[in-house]
Amino acid sequence: MTGFARKTSPLAILALVTVAVASIGGCQPRSAWHATDVSGAVPALRLSMTRTRDGKVVSAADYRGSVTMLYFGYTYCPDVCPLTLANVGRVLKQLGSAANRVSVLFVTVDPDRDTPALLNQYAAAFGPNVDALRGDPDQLASLARRYRVAYSVTPHGSGGSYEVTHSSGIYVFDRDGNARLLVSSLSTGKPDIGGTASDLRVLLR
């Protein structure tokens, strides 16, 4: 090490220090998201589903320019879905008028029971930002596969009872339709309302 020190000029040492500082700076996160950053790991928004409030088959182009939240659930869900959507409503309330540029897509995983009329009523209960989307089994399976969303619907006997499971995270896409965040806390008893609102503000800029 002494030999190295004798042969290294002050300018060379300065250059090495500069590179080291730059490298350390490059290791720091570019932004402090509260939700999980999925940029580059999840595909852009792409879908073809029927929006129940107007019967229109919508695609990602219909939501271009808005920050879009994509959530899978079903109207008969006893707890997680209403809790999650109610917390989304709290987040949007914090955004004030900026919430007008946020679209919430509620995709039913139980289209056999979730009729358009029922979905319209359900979505309306959580505010004007929520669009209920319904597809046939192939459309639903394709969309769920694209975003690695697990779900299953199992009827039990003739009594009308069902067992339904589904992922509870919310994907957030920026105004260009790029996947940016996965929000997991809104389906829990300790939702990060302020943090999620802060993340959406960043994406809305």
CA 50/CA 10 separation, integer angstroms: 68
Whether the CB-CB separation of 73 and 81 falls below 8 Å is answered with: yes
In terms of C-beta density within 10 A (0-12 exposed, 13-18 middle, 19 or more buried), how is residue 131 classed? buried
**Low-confidence winner among 27-31, 82-86, 123-127, 165-169 (lowest mean pLDDT):** 27-31
| Residue 29 pLDDT > 80 | no
CA 27/CA 30 separation, integer angstroms: 9
Q: Return the pLDDT at 178.
A: 98
Whether the CB-CB separation of 114 and 108 falls below 8 Å is answered with: yes
CA 169/CA 158 separation, integer angstroms: 32
pTM equals: 0.82
Q: Return the pLDDT at 158.
A: 61
pLDDT tens column, 57-110? 999 999 999 999 999 999 999 999 999 999 999 999 999 999 999 999 999 999
Give the β-pairing of 170-173 and 67-73: antiparallel
